[in-house]
Amino acid sequence: MSENVQLIWKKIEHLRRMRNYLDYSLGQTLLLMPISDWHQLTPEHHETLAAFRVRFSEFQEHLGKVMRAIAREEEQSTEPFSFVLLYMEKLGILDTVDRWKMIRELRNAVNHEYEENEQRLSEFFLALTQAAPELYTWFDRTIAFCQASYPAPDGPTCA
């Protein structure tokens, strides 16, 4: 097994842990949806939203890093990153490059608009909660591709 493949599996294991934390934060955030009055939120609610926002962002970021490592292993171009996304679409991991980019833009908007416009912020958080299952699907497809392409007899399995 190449060093890059070992790195891919290590990143997948890290993403599995991240997914568990994101899933917890998603569940806590869904309890707050829809947010109609930000002034009624407690400090704990704001902490929940902040944790969800960060975990969502980090999960997508790290999933992108695994995708780049796969493209590198498959001897595909990795610059610009849109080449990686196009390859992931070709493999069937992503449904569309545009959807990945849309979620990334949404994620960036939440990070930059945080506490600026309450109505927009409510819409952003709702959209993030709706996008999280897509990230999970793409992660599951990434695992399936890796299991088929880079068997790890002593390594991780799809659980």
pLDDT tens digits, residue range 27-38?
Answer: 999 999 999 999
CA distances (Å), 57 to each of 61, 63, 116, in order? 6, 10, 19
Distance (Å, rounded) from C-alpha 115 to C-alpha 129?
18
Measured CA distances, 7 to 4, 33, 113, 152 (Å): 5, 37, 35, 12
Chain segment 65-77, per-residue pLDDT in tens: 999 999 999 999 9
* Top-confidence residue, 151 or 86: 86
Q: What single-letter DSSP state applies at residue 39? A: G
Q: What is the pLDDT of residue 114?
A: 58
CATH code at 3-149: 1.20.120
**Which pTM does this prediction carry?**
0.91
What length is written for the chain?
159
- All structural domains of the chain with their residue ranges: 3-149
